[in-house]
């Protein structure tokens, strides 16, 4: 069965239509639904993107397939009209097969998984060869690709714009996420897929989506909760170096609308917005000194009697390795979402929302620890 002008059409009706109408008309009829394949649908970003697609004005024309790990979540995804497939990013053949069936792929899982990216691209290439169409890949990277080795000791003047392609292309392949980004961009150049790379920054806020309500989506970010968890564990707020480094930020709800803005622009065709080497879209709507987050968290933790004093102390090298896997929390990453805003993306959460989000994040972390 398939959709025809919003109505299900039976196989018998298809047989009748085949006799009455030209096959090309039937191809158009079958293509009225947009098949979207999503990885990372149970994650903080991917779940928010899927929820935004489900509330899209054209959601009744979408056929959404999601790769998920847990069989326990199958019925719950089905209940909101999403077709789940059990698997992981390590299942190369599954990724390739699902991508080969999709008009659009939203890759919202591990931004550094080169093998998974290659599997998806192979599937999209097969789709192009079999259908003579050019599918779309919206890939998730991050402004971590811009980091330096400031170790918290200074703020850089170097600011990247998603309109300044030469500056972005000057980034070495050794930067986080960069190797996968380059593979995605190269695929667009080959012509079998149109690629769009979304680069969120420090994402904050506890996600509140239908998928969270169902219990199938992680509602928490990584960067700030890691800082909170480390501070709770050492019973004292912590800071990297002098805490002078700068990062952009974005609320999770604005991340979701960014995916929809890029998706809508991409669906207009190759001229809808920049793709390939001109298809970078930074996700940011504000900038903060990372040390200030440490300071606010230390004060809040002290008020909640979870810290010895209201001033953060410097993380040791051992602590940085233990809690963050290195010193990246002390890096600079400065970006401006100029291309993203040119296509109509209108983020509504400002820096004030970031500060307001910190206490609820601490309370949620404490509650999880006490559970």
Instruction: Give the per-residue pLDDT at 368.
Output: 86
pLDDT category at 152 given cuts 50, 70, 90 is: very high
Extended strands (E) in the chain? 2-4, 7-9, 34-39, 62-68, 82-86, 104-107, 136-140, 160-161, 194-200, 202-204, 238-239, 246-251, 280-283, 287-289, 313-314, 335-336
Average pLDDT, the chain: 92
pLDDT category at 31 given cuts 50, 70, 90 is: low
Instruction: Give the per-residue pLDDT at 267.
Output: 97
What average pLDDT does range 327-340 have in this prediction?
96
pLDDT at 52 over 70: yes
Question: Global pTM?
Answer: 0.91
How far apart CA 240 and CA 202 sit, in angstroms, is 16
pLDDT at 11 over 70: no
How far apart CA 371 and CA 368 sit, in angstroms, is 5
Instruction: Give the per-residue pLDDT at 109.
Output: 96
pLDDT digits (tens, 9 = 90+) for 176-215: 999 999 999 999 999 999 999 999 999 999 999 999 999 9
Neighbours of 153 (CB within 10 A): 13
Neighbours of 157 (CB within 10 A): 8
**Which range has the worst mean pLDDT, 19-23, 89-93, 245-249, 267-271?**
19-23
Percentage of the chain lying above the pLDDT 70 cut: 92
Q: Going from the N-terminus, what domains does the chain have, and what CATH number goes with each?
A: 33-370 (3.40.50.720)
pLDDT at 4 over 60: no
Neighbours of 295 (CB within 10 A): 17
Instruction: Give the per-residue pLDDT at 285.
Output: 98
How far apart CA 148 and CA 158 sit, in angstroms, is 10
On the 0-12 / 13-18 / 19+ scale of CB atoms within 10 A, 148 is middle
């Amino acid at each position: 069965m398939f959709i025809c002008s919003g109505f299900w059409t039976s196989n018998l009706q298809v047989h009748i239509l085949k006799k009455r109408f030209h096959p090309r008309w039937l191809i158009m009829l079958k293509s009225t639904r947009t098949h979207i394949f999503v990885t990372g649908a149970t994650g903080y970003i991917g779940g928010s993107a899927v929820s935004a697609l489900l509330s899209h004005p054209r959601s009744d024309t979408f056929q959404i397939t999601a790769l998920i790990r847990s069989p326990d979540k199958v019925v719950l995804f089905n209940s909101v009209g999403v077709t789940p497939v059990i698997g992981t990013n390590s299942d190369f053949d599954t990724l390739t097969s699902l991508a080969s069936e999709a008009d659009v792929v939203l890759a919202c899982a591990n931004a550094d998984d080169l093998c998974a990216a290659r599997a998806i691209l192979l599937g999209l290439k097969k789709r192009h060869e079999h259908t003579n169409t050019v599918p779309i890949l919206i890939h998730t990277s991050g402004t971590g690709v811009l980091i330096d080795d400031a170790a918290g000791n200074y703020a850089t003047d170097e600011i990247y714009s998603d309109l300044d392609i030469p500056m972005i292309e000057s980034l070495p392949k050794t930067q986080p996420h960069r190797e996968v980004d380059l593979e995605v961009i190269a695929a667009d150049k080959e012509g079998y897929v149109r690629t769009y790379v979304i680069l969120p920054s420090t994402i904050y806020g506890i996600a509140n989506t239908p998928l969270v309500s169902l219990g199938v989506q992680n509602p928490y970010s990584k960067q700030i909760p890691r800082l909170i968890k480390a501070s709770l564990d050492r019973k004292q707020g912590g800071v990297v170096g002098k805490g002078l480094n700068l990062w952009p930020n974005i609320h999770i709800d604005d991340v979701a609308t960014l995916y929809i803005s890029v998706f809508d622009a991409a669906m207009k065709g190759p001229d809808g917005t920049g793709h390939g080497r001109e298809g970078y879209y930074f996700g940011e709507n504000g900038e903060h000194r990372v040390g200030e987050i440490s300071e606010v968290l230390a004060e809040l933790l002290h008020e909640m009697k979870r810290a010895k004093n209201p001033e953060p102390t410097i993380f040791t090298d051992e602590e940085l390795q233990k809690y963050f896997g290195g010193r990246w929390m002390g890096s600079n990453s400065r970006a401006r979402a100029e291309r993203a805003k040119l296509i109509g993306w209108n983020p509504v959460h400002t820096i004030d929302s970031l500060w307001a989000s910190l206490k609820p994040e601490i309370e949620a972390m404490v509650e999880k620890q006490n559970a």
